[in-house]
Amino acid sequence: MLGAIGLSPAESRLYATLVENPRSSAAELATHCGVSTPLAARTLAAFARRGLASRLPGRRARYVAVAPDIAFRPLLTRQEEELHQVRTAIHELTTSFHLASRYAAHPAEQVEVVTGTDNIISRAYALQDSAQSMFRNIDKPPYVMRGHADNVERERRMLRSGIDYRSVYDLESLALPGKLRLVQDSVAHGEKARVVAGAAAKMWIADDALALIPIRNGAYAIDAAFILHRSALLDALIALFELEWRRGFPLRGAPRPAAGPGEPDELTRDLLALLAGGLTDEAIARSLGLGLRTVQRRIHAVMQELNAITRFQAGLAARERGWI
């Protein structure tokens, strides 16, 4: 429990027991913890020297624990100072490493090849965790992760820590059942999302330092990935992402329930968002889990309500009214 500040498991157990049983002797503490009396006596004496416990007056040695917030403050301060020194050293070494890699590394060292589904997922998560200020990704099928929601909690944690999280979604990805709502929830938590038709490539980029590009074998399987380190190739990939970002249209967060008469229900808002994104009737039906005829009837009705002749006009009108 207290190993992070230098106490062994036995010392942690003895200290916690002393907190719960003040005025204990070494023999009494040994009985509570299932250790020998000499070990308990040595540990109590060490606690007293380190300011973790106080010996009470009297012929028989009895001890009380010093309040934990007071006892451990010096240890925590020392640990924090040491961690700060380690972080500073890592930062300096990382800076030196990147400088050396950019100008001196052999081209073969700037690209790694990762194979196997589990290895790709592991490296993808590690790449996300390495982001310090910015994370960018282009999302399109096929997927190496087993479910669309596998990465949600990690993304939420990154957003809470202030990471600038930007995603470009290919229209094909929004056609997957439940994906639109998942994306809208992410936007509501702070993700910036845009949608494009025919995204150039699937990619994850952490800061301007590292990127992952899945390699597709055939139409639907991903069995390898490129890991790109700082290089001209990574710079080109970042430029490609920014081009896709600029041509995408923004997605808003999860729509609110209808506010009153004349306002669309939640399902209609979802349909309008997909319609504005350019999805076909078939793709909208798959995404919303509805029948094709149901979707077509709803599209016809909402276009009439918006006085729109084309689907594009319907999307613009819905956006002007704040429906999507």
If you search the block for the tokens 């059942």, which residue do you land on? Answer: 177
Which residue, among 32, 24, 89, has the nearest Cα to 58 in the 3D structure? 24
- Across residues 171-193, what is the average pLDDT? 85
Q: Is pLDDT above 60 for 273?
A: yes
- Return phi, psi of residue 66, to 5°: -75, 145
CA distance 228 to 110: 6
Domains contained in the chain, CATH given = 3-71 (1.10.10.10), 105-250 (3.30.870.10), 266-320 (1.10.10.10)
Q: Which amino acid is at 124?
A: A
Answer whether 133's CB lies under 8 Å from 163's CB: yes
CA dist., res. 278 & res. 189, Å (int): 25
Tally the residues of the chain.
Answer: 324
Chain segment 83-125, per-residue pLDDT in tens: 888 888 887 777 776 666 555 455 556 888 888 888 888 899 9
* Confidence class for position 220, pLDDT limits 50, 70, 90: low
For residue 163, the Cα-to-chain-centroid distance in whole angstroms is 9
- pTM tops 0.75: no
Question: What letter represents residue 74's amino acid?
Answer: P
Question: What pLDDT is recorded for position 88?
Answer: 83
Give Cα 242 distance to the centre of its chain.
21
Does residue 230 surpass a pLDDT of 70?
A: yes
The predicted pLDDT at position 149 comes to 60
> How many angstroms separate the first and last alpha carbons of the chain?
50
Residue 308: helix, strand or coil by DSSP? coil
pLDDT in tens, 236-262: 999 999 999 988 878 776 555 545 566
Residue 67, classed as helix, strand or coil, is coil
Task: State the alpha helices, DSSP H only, in the chain.
Answer: 9-20, 26-33, 37-50, 68-71, 73-104, 117-130, 152-160, 171-174, 179-188, 232-247, 266-276, 281-288, 292-305, 311-320
266: pLDDT confidence band, cut at 50, 70 and 90?
confident
Q: Which residue carries 């790709």 as its tokens? A: 120
pLDDT averaged over every residue in the chain: 83
What's the rounded mean pLDDT across residues 12-16?
87
Confidence of residue 309 (pLDDT cuts 50, 70, 90): confident
CA atoms within 13 A on the CB side of 136: 18
pLDDT tens digit sequence for 59-90: 888 999 888 888 778 777 877 888 888 888 88
Torsion angles phi and psi, residue 302, rounded to 5: -70, -30
Specify the DSSP element, H or E, that contains 249: strand 249-250
* Full 3-state SS string of 184-247: HHHHHCCCEEEEECCCCCCEEEECCCEEEEEEEECCCEEEEEEEECCCHHHHHHHHHHHHHHHH
Strand order in the sheet with 53-55: 24-25, 62-65, 53-55
Q: What is the pLDDT of residue 301?
A: 86
